[in-house]
Amino acid sequence: MASQIKEFQLACKLSDLRPNHPNTIEIDDRFVVVVLLNAQVFCLEDLCTHDGGTLGDGEMDGNCLVCPRHGAKFDVRTGEAMCMPATEPTLSHEVEVRGDEVFVRLRDTV
């Protein structure tokens, strides 16, 4: 079955985001992590593909968000797993900034 294309939904205000800091936000009963990096906003599923850790509790290392449980790193721009123990990407969601508002369109598949 084809996955349904979702609408963009308001996630947060751009002015509330601290640069290089993960912000956990709930949208549609799902948790995502929004990061302001180099004046661009990115959004990942709040889920480490190694063992289900919450990425929003981690810290940034360059372009990567580091899982606080065992240290896997995910590129916030793509969701790609950059080091062990994670080997699979996490979901990367589409972001649109309109003025001071950040909108996210949730994906169900990578």
Looking at the DSSP bridge assignments, the partners of residue 103 are 10, 96
User: Considering just the CA atoms, what is the radius of gyration of the chain in Å?
Assistant: 13
Query: What number of other Cβ atoms are within 10 A of residue 76's Cβ?
Result: 27
Q: At its nearest, how many Å lie between ligand FES and the CB of residue 47?
A: 9
- Output 12 or 90, the one with its CB closest to ligand FES: 90
Would you call 23 helix, strand, or coil by DSSP? strand
- Output 6 or 69, the one with its CB closest to ligand FES: 69
Q: At its nearest, how many Å lie between ligand FES and the CB of residue 49?
A: 8
Q: At its nearest, how many Å lie between ligand FES and the CB of residue 110?
A: 17
CA distance 35 to 2: 29
Q: At its nearest, how many Å lie between ligand FES and the CB of residue 70?
A: 3
Which residues contact ligand FES by CB under 6 A? 48, 50-53, 67, 69-72, 85-86
- Output 41 or 66, the one with its CB closest to ligand FES: 66
Looking at the DSSP bridge assignments, the partners of residue 73 are 66
